[in-house]
Amino acid sequence: GPGDIHAELVVLGSGPGGYSAAFRAADLGQSVVLIEKDDNLGGVCLNVGCIPSKAMLHMAKVITEAEETAHHGLKFGAPEIDLDGLRDFKNGVVNKLTGGLDGLAKQRKVKVVKGYGKFTGPNMIDVEGTTVSFDNCIIAAGSEPVTLPFIPHDDPRVIDSTGALELADIPERLLVLGGGIIGLEMACVYDALGSKVTVVELMDQIIPGADKDVVKPLMQRIKGRYANIFLKTKVTAVEAKDDGMHVTFEDDKGESFTDTFDKVLVAVGRRPNGKKIDADKAGVSVDDRGFIGVDSQQRTGVKHIFAIGDVVGQPMLAHKAVHEGKVAAEAASGENRHFDAKVIPSVAYTDPEVAWVGVTETQAKADGIKFEKGVFPWAASGRSLSLGRSEGMTKLLFDPEDQRVIGGCIVGPSAGDLIAEVALAIEMGADAVDLGHTIHPHPTLSETVNFAAEMFEGTITDLM
Ligand code: FAD
């Protein structure tokens, strides 16, 4: 038709994976079309994920720090919470970034086509009546929250992470269903804002991907603040009644009990959007769960169609999507690029933060991977103590053969920033001496990485 478009590369979805891929390919000289169904570019991460959640977590941190300085001789009054103001701050941050993406797309002459895209053939996507044809395509359709059959999701008192980020109100009693990263971050926000928070988790620990000892300081802190944390417990029914949501729990001994909440936040995982794009019409296979399989260049079974980000598998993280996006864009532009990152860090931006990268101790034990460790307790870090905090810990795992770093877990304020050094150490093949002999600025939390390496080597002289 007259409005039809052709591009060398079409990117389906403008999340962190999609926009990174589109921009990289444009920089390499490709003509690029970026298809997005939502009003704003940026996907889940910018609009309803990483960024708004961090803006709210910052507010939460200010509130709890102000509470806690009372123990150190500095007392503030109770916070006056203006939800409209908080929402404006959060939306302002999001809009600045999504608006920035519009500008970056224009600068690079990436053509943005708004609308829902579906494949109609191996070289064609229909976007609500406009046909976009391509030589190469990158699928970056992302994921959405999982819903549960026994939960009345149509009741406004049942929310997902997107609903929680809307900050519609501060529920008096909030149930967070799922003790993973997203659930616990939102629990942290609403606890600080004054909700009585209950967390329920099926597994025997919160943040099941991280080592138990690393999660312990977080567990201890939230135990003291939240109404309840139920582990090894599942929710079997949620009933909407006038006085609240009546929730039935069942523990691992088969005992049932009920409780009532004003809101239920369902955060039990995310499901890929692979089944919603008619991928079969392009010959691309999608598995039962909705994931699209790819090779080390991010190519699907159809060589000129690539896939990246949440839609290709775990871990569903923005930095993984961005990295894969660049790999796919370079491969699609004819470069010999492969995904060869050794590790992908994970972070829960709770208070304290929990971060890990590479092999965890739990995983090493399960898989029979030989390791030795260096552990530095932050109770001996001068910087941590001067923040009024002592519960943190930095743990490094080393290969006993060559003393190279193979993994690290950090818990404490700013752990998410600190884990980047461990990721770099693993990528560079650094060993304990490299970390121990690198002069770290004093007094910083970054020293704890240096100290953990010295603990392993037995060369630590003073703990400060
Ligand atoms: P997405 O960001 O999901 O983007 C996909 C885009 O494609 C969307 O804009 C969608 O509208 C569009 N799309 C899909 N199908 C179509 C179609 N058929 N036609 C047109 N457009 C389509 N990760 C981190 O690394 N750090 C964090 O701190 C973090 N915090 C998070 C907090 C929350 C509350 C949530 C929900 C997630 C968080 N994540 C975080 C995960 C992160 O948001 C995702 O891993 C990341 O957004 C995945 O990027 P993506 O490009 O694969 O897909």
For 136-186, how does the pLDDT look when each residue is reduced to its tens digit (9 = 90+)? 999 999 999 999 999 999 999 999 999 999 999 999 999 999 999 999 999
- Res. 459 pLDDT band, cuts 50 70 90: confident
Q: Ligand 1, atom 23: nearest CA belongs to which residue?
A: 317
Element (H, E) at 134: strand 130-139
Q: Is 335 annotated as a binding residue?
A: no
- The single residue listed with the structure tokens 């038709």 is 1
Cα angle: 404, vertex 408, 410; to 5 degrees: 150
Q: Ligand 1, atom 33: nearest CA belongs to which residue?
A: 49
Q: Ligand 1, atom 27: nearest CA belongs to which residue?
A: 50
Compute, in angstroms, the gap from residue 321 CA to the centroid of ligand 1.
9
Identify whether the C-beta of residue 41 lies closer than 8 Å to the C-beta of residue 112: yes
State the DSSP string of 322-342: HHHHHHHHHHHTT-------S
Locate all alpha helices (DSSP H) within 333-431, ordered by sequence: 361-367, 382-386, 415-428
Q: Is 319 annotated as a binding residue?
A: yes
Q: In the predicted model, is pLDDT for residue 462 greater than 70?
A: no
Q: How far is it, in rounded angstroms, from Cα 18 to Cα 113?
A: 13
For the stretch 314-325, pLDDT in tens is 999 999 999 999
Q: Ligand 1, atom 26: nearest CA belongs to which residue?
A: 50
- Res. 27 pLDDT band, cuts 50 70 90: very high
- Res. 1 pLDDT band, cuts 50 70 90: low
Nearest in space to 49 (alpha carbons), one of 260, 316, 432: 316
User: Ligand 1, closest atom to CA 35?
Assistant: 20
Q: Is 290 annotated as a binding residue?
A: no
Q: Is 181 annotated as a binding residue?
A: yes
CA distances (Å), origin 269, targets 136, 146, 173, 237: 31, 6, 22, 18
Q: How far is it, in rounded angstroms, from Cα 10 to Cα 6?
A: 9
Q: What percent of the chain lies above the pLDDT cut of 70?
A: 99
Averaged pLDDT of the chain: 97
Q: How far is it, in rounded angstroms, from Cα 435 to Cα 107?
A: 41
State the DSSP string of 55-113: HHHHHHHHHHHHHHGGGGT--PPPP---HHHHHHHHHHHHHHHHHHHHHHHHHTTPEEE
Q: What is the pTM of this model?
A: 0.97
Q: Is 182 annotated as a binding residue?
A: yes
User: Ligand 1, closest atom to CA 322?
Assistant: 51
Token duo for residue 241: 């009644």
User: Ligand 1, closest atom to CA 311?
Assistant: 52
For the stretch 339-373, pLDDT in tens is 999 999 999 999 999 999 999 999 999 999 999 99
Identify whether the C-beta of residue 127 lies closer than 8 Å to the C-beta of residue 115: yes
Compute, in angstroms, the gap from residue 48 CA to the centroid of ligand 1.
8
Helix (H, G, I), strand (E, B) or coil at 261: strand
Q: Which residues are catalytic?
A: 442
Nearest in space to 272 (alpha carbons), one of 304, 297, 307: 307
Pocket of ligand 1 (CB under 6 A): 12-18, 35-38, 43-45, 49-50, 53, 116-117, 140-143, 161, 182, 273, 277, 309-310, 316-319, 321, 349
Token duo for residue 323: 């990295």
Give residue 461's pLDDT.
77
Q: Where are the beta strands (DSSP E) in 140-243?
A: 143-145, 158-159, 173-177, 196-200, 228-230, 233-241
Cα angle: 332, vertex 337, 338; to 5 degrees: 110
Q: Ligand 1, atom 52: nearest CA belongs to which residue?
A: 309
Compute, in angstroms, the gap from residue 15 CA to the centroid of ligand 1.
5
Pocket test for ligand 1, best of 20, 45, 97, 324 (most atoms within 8 A of CB): 45
- For residues 303, 309, 310 and 315, what is the CA-based torsion angle, rounded to 10 degrees? 110
Pocket test for ligand 1, best of 12, 46, 50 (most atoms within 8 A of CB): 50
Query: What is this model's ipTM?
Result: 0.99
Q: In the predicted model, is pLDDT for residue 421 greater than 70?
A: yes
Q: In the predicted model, is pLDDT for residue 464 greater than 60?
A: no
